[in-house]
Structure 1
Amino acid sequence: MQEFETQRPRLFSLAYRMLGSAAEAEDAVQDAYLRWHGADRAQVVAPGPWLAKVLTNLCLNRLTSARVQREEYVGPWLPEPVRTDGGELGPLETAEQRDAVSMAMLVMMERLTPPERAVVVLRDAFEYSYRDVAGVLDCSEANARQIYRRAKQHLTDGRPRFAASAEVRSDLLSRFLQAAAEGALEQLEALLADQVTVWADGGGKVSAARRPVSGRNKVARLLIGLFARWSAGVEIAIAEANGEPVVLSWEDGELTAAGFVEVGEGGVVGVRIVRNPEKLRFLADQSRGLSQNA
């Protein structure tokens, strides 16, 4: 039991990166525990690698079924946000580490096949050698290399080459929120890139745009409208989730929205708003726990 609990944070981090869902990650880790509990420990030479292999295969199975479910999902699908100011996803000390768990990157990971996703996570987040990756996936080392190259190409093709500093992003976010809250249309438009897009994930459970909204003027008007609706009885707070600032909306003690602002060339290039209550539950519990411990 103690050996597994020592590995649990690392296993959750692996499963979350694979699945993009905190709830699914917790379930997968629990399934791995059941496998561990029933295993012949005398046959387990190294618990860490053994558990990582078991968990990765459990996640691969979940990803296969999740693809069918997401094809039927109501509106845009976004990952479940996770607070990272308490070290929940491991060290996020570099820009590369933060980008790897960002909402934008987790959305991009949806383009990959389950094996491609596994190889990228094991290589980039856990620094597995190609030999170790091959051992987890039961393939040849050469095949592991090929899968990794193909996966990274898919991710590179879909990502902007512009990278803003933390200071630039923080300043832009502050001005963005102020302009939206004040209903200053021209000031807000000036902060947005030409092809800025808003994705809102309500999952059919709460009101949210069923399709992405693109274009500077349309997005600015949409955001000002949202802030106008939030003006009464809503507490807005900024925290850290997925290695980046997140705007949290609280109503009567309940978390009702988590918004991520992506900065790129020309200003704000994307806004992702999670409103599905099921996807906010983990983040809400984390936030309450951090508040109690503050």
Structure 2
Amino acid sequence: MPPEPGVDVFEAQRPRLLRLAYRMLGSSSEAEDVVQEAWLRWDRQAQAEIGEPAAWLTRVVSRLCLDMMKSARSRRESYPGIWLPEPLVEAEDDDLRADNLTLTLMLALERLSPLERAAFLLHDVFGQPLDEVAAVVERSPEAARQLARRARAHVRVDQLRYPVARDEGENIVRAFFEACRVGDAEALSRMLAEGVTLQSDGGGKVLAYPNLIRGSKRMLRLLLGHASKYGSGMRFERFVMIDGLPGFVSAMGGQVQTTALDTEGGKITAIYITRNPEKLARVVH
């Protein structure tokens, strides 16, 4: 039996809706829950009365996300250690780059209020007209414009730089991992930018650095100490692109983690390590 027309319409929108929900929430599992709820509402709706299904579905998903973001903010305030978005590992044929965001910018979005984040994502990233944005945030078009403008000012310094090609990113990633594994101080010194930072998310469930680490000298001491203690047990699983950044999946003593590297001018400027098992289910399986 062929699918109902309403199913085809929804399925055509599903990838975009999932991207939007993930960018709003920073969690793939929560994004899937939101899109599933949107499907249930779509299925109950008199679809013939909806003039623009894409706009209707965008509005529903965005409002569901706004409701979830209120509780998410309070959960993150009590989150043990550093919170990072759930790593979104991209297949080579994924169209995630269509929204032109990286993990770095995702973290910058955390500084915004829920309404600012929604306005910025809908208008600047997903290209929704201001009247649609206004309908989602339940403000006037001018107020929606102001929300997007304020958000833009907050995240401007974190805008996406020219993206690293997959092959170039893989070369950087493999060289970095090997230098970390064997404790190659000279190689690491060449790779690390002076102001390099490291953030590590263990979610209070596994060991992770509880605070941001900054500076090449401090980073070098940390990485060399880690190599001396754990290097022989480190295993490179595979190269991946994580939210637009080159990265890798690795394991040590049965603990899986992802590492994403932000780079500029051939130097590593930021390192993002996710070790929280709850955020790695889609990476492991």
| TM-score tier after normalising by the smaller chain length | 0.7 to 0.9
Aligned residue number for residue 116 of structure 2: 116
Q: How does 1:223-234 map to 2 (within 5 A)?
A: 223-227=223-227, 229-232=230-233, 234=235
* Equivalent residue number for residue 288 of structure 1: none
What is the CA–CA distance in structure 1 between the aligned matches of 2:181 and 2:20, rounded to whole Å?
A: 37
CA deviation vs aligned residue, 1:13-47 (integer Å, no higher than 9, x gap): 11001111111101111121222233233432222
Aligned to 2:273: 273
1:2 & 1:86 partners in 2: Cα distance?
A: 25
Point out the more displaced range, 138-147 or 201-210. Answer: 138-147
Deviation at 1:67, TM superposition (A): 0.5
Structure 1 distance, partners of 2:227, 2:22, is: 31
Aligned-CA RMSD value? 2.5
CA–CA separation in structure 2 for the residues paired with 1:244 and 1:65: 28
SS of residue paired to 2:211? coil
Q: Which secondary structure does the structure 2 equivalent of 1:81 belong to? A: coil
| Cross-structure match for 1:147 | 147
2-structure distance, mates of 1:19, 1:140 = 24
The amino acid of 1:34's aligned partner reads: L
TM-score normalised over the length of structure 1: 0.84
Identity of aligned residues (%): 36
TM (norm. structure 2) is 0.87
Counterpart contact for 1:194–1:266, Cα < 8 Å: no
Structure 1, unaligned stretches of length 5 or more?
286-294
What is the alpha-carbon distance in structure 2 between the residues aligned to residue 179 and residue 190 of structure 1? 11
The reply on whether 1:32 has 2:53 as its aligned counterpart is no
Contact 2:234 2:250 in 1 (8 A): no
| More displaced 10-residue stretch of structure 1: 194-203 or 39-48 | 39-48
Q: Which residue of 2 aligns with 1:159?
A: 158
Equivalent in the alignment of 1:260: 260
Q: Give me the whole-angstrom Cα distance separating, in 2, the residues matched to 1:196 and 1:183.
A: 18
Distance 1:281 1:3, change over 3 A: same
Q: 1:2 aligns with which of 5, 8, 17?
A: 8
* 1:97-126 Cα shifts (integer Å, max 9, x gaps): 54x1x1111111101111111122112332
1:219 aligns with 2:213: no
Separation in 1 of the partners of 2:74 and 2:126? 28
Report how many residues are paired: 277
Q: Deviations over 1:46-80 (max 9, x none)?
A: 22111110110000111111000000001100001
Of 10, 14, 22, which residue of structure 2 is paired with 1:16? Answer: 22
